[in-house]
């Protein structure tokens, strides 16, 4: 779509039972007790992460 956006991302890793996943190893955990709600930012999202109305009109 050609519109650059500044986004932070979270990646989830899952495995299907019918595919070999032995080659994958998880990195050492930083905080193994963290829940997604604990690591999500609680502040308001900055306007720089939203598309302007100019882009939405096209």
Residues, the chain, total?
58
Looking at residue 3, what is its pLDDT?
63
Looking at residue 28, what is its pLDDT?
80
Q: How far apart are CA 42 and CA 7, in angstroms?
A: 16
Q: Does residue 27 sit within a domain? A: no
Range of the structural domain that residue 41 is part of: 1-18+32-58
Q: Does residue 23 sit within a domain? A: no
Q: What angle do CA 40, 13, 31 make, to 5 degrees?
A: 50
Q: Does residue 8 sit within a domain? A: yes
Q: Does residue 9 sit within a domain? A: yes
1-58 pLDDT, tens digit per residue, is 556 666 777 888 888 889 888 888 878 877 667 777 877 778 887 888 777 777 666 5
Instruction: Indicate the number of domains in the chain.
Output: 1
The pTM for the full model equals 0.28
Q: Does residue 49 sit within a domain? A: yes
Looking at residue 33, what is its pLDDT?
74
- C-alpha distance from residue 54 to each of 16, 17, 19, 50, 51 (Å): 42, 46, 45, 11, 8
Q: Does residue 24 sit within a domain? A: no
Q: Does residue 40 sit within a domain? A: yes
């Amino acid at each position: 779509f050609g519109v650059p956006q500044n986004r932070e991302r979270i990646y989830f890793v899952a495995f299907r039972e019918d595919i070999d996943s032995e080659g994958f190893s998880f990195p050492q955990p930083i905080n193994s007790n963290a829940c997604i709600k604990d690591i999500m930012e609680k502040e308001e999202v900055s306007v720089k992460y939203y598309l302007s109305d100019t882009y939405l009109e096209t």
